[in-house]
Amino acid sequence: MKAVIVSLFIIVLLLDGWVFIIRPRKPLREKLSFVFQVVATYTFAFGLVVQSKLLASFGTLAQDMTSPNLFEFLRGNFAFLGYIFLGLASALEPIKETYGPLYIFEMLVLLIVGLLSLVYAVLHLLILVPFTYLGYMLASVPINAIVTSNKDYFIAIGGQTLSIKALSRRMLCP
């Protein structure tokens, strides 16, 4: 089963590479700028959400969504999308405790939000997940190498000493 998941992930990543990088007849800089802008916007928004502690009540969701382990990363991203759709399903419940004067308008807005959420989920799975995983994986390689190293180096600034290993451990958790 793990081989199937890894194979599907590689296929989606190769498809994304073909669609966004190889296929367009533009200079490489223009091709990559779109991908980097999308990933940067997502990373900025995700950073704001994590720093505002909005995901704190969801356990390790933020850590899973940034994990260099492919299976934890996919689990976190699917759980994130699942929470979005569970919230939408709860909002679309036809039997309400009370009905306000804007009930019909509320349902129309929620249906539009549902369609936009579906579009976002597809874009999230086909564009954001493959490219952000590459970024998280590449960023975690040197950090993990420092954390698992037998030696630790220290930087002395003024009267304070900073451990490189301790700093790297803090960087592993969002």
pLDDT at 21 over 80: no
When the pLDDT of each residue in the chain is averaged and rounded to a whole number, the result is 85
Residue spans of the domains in the chain: they are 2-133
pLDDT, position 173: 53
Is the model more confident about 104 or about 49? 49
pLDDT, position 172: 63
Of all residues in the chain, the percent with pLDDT exceeding 70 is 98
Cα–Cα distance for residue pair 13/147, rounded to 1 Å: 29
pLDDT, position 174: 47
pLDDT, position 167: 80
* pLDDT (average), residues 67-79: 91
pLDDT at 97 over 80: no
